[in-house]
Amino acid sequence: MSELNTAVETAPEQETAPQTTSEEKTTEKEEMSKEERSKQASRRRALEQKAEELRSDARQEQLRQEVMNHPLVKEAMTLLEENRFKQDLDRVRAAYPSLTAQSPQEVGEIYCRLMASGQVDPVVAYEAQAAADRRREPIPENMVSAKSAGGAALYYSSQELDRLTEKDLRDPDVFRKAIASLSKLRS
């Protein structure tokens, strides 16, 4: 026995793993449950806050629609729009004094579409409309196509002018006819 006692005394002390009791396991589960419950509560609060924000946004949109549909607001918006149209036409008249249109519709469909986009200057929109109108107009009777006259005509038609290249315009005779044709077309 003394040998046994000696072996026990001289043997390195072994660490024993802490044994968890059933009470500690229950406490651990309760703590995890508390953590999970805390996370769930946080998630719930976040979702409730998001839902409240969405309800608030929906209410704001509804109020905005009600305000925009009010007759006085509609009238004010119409007046502002008419004023903007007038300012735009005034800018076009400054560049083109011969403009007689009193409304955008009188200028033309292309002008109206370009202005509705909000991306185009009124003068540029007018020039686009004028170019489209020129292309639709028939060739004046007193204009003789250079092609139909065998190249000896005094003027080019608007379609022929559009087809002239830089190389063509380097020829002094072609250039002179082009300038004369432009003058004739504008008058």
Q: CB–CB of 115/122 below 8 Å?
A: yes
Residue 32 counted as domain residue: no
Residue 65 counted as domain residue: yes
Confidence band (pLDDT; 50, 70, 90) for 3?
low
Domain boundary among 136, 159, 178: 136
55 and 130 part of one domain: yes
Residue 132 counted as domain residue: yes
52 and 102 part of one domain: yes
Confidence band (pLDDT; 50, 70, 90) for 186?
confident
144 and 111 part of one domain: no
Residue 1 counted as domain residue: no
Q: How far is CA 130 from CA 21, 69, 87, 143, in A?
A: 94, 37, 19, 20
Structural domain count, the chain: 2
Mean pLDDT of all residues belonging to the chain: 78
User: Comparing 59 with 143, which gets the higher pLDDT?
Assistant: 59
Domain boundary among 136, 151, 177: 136
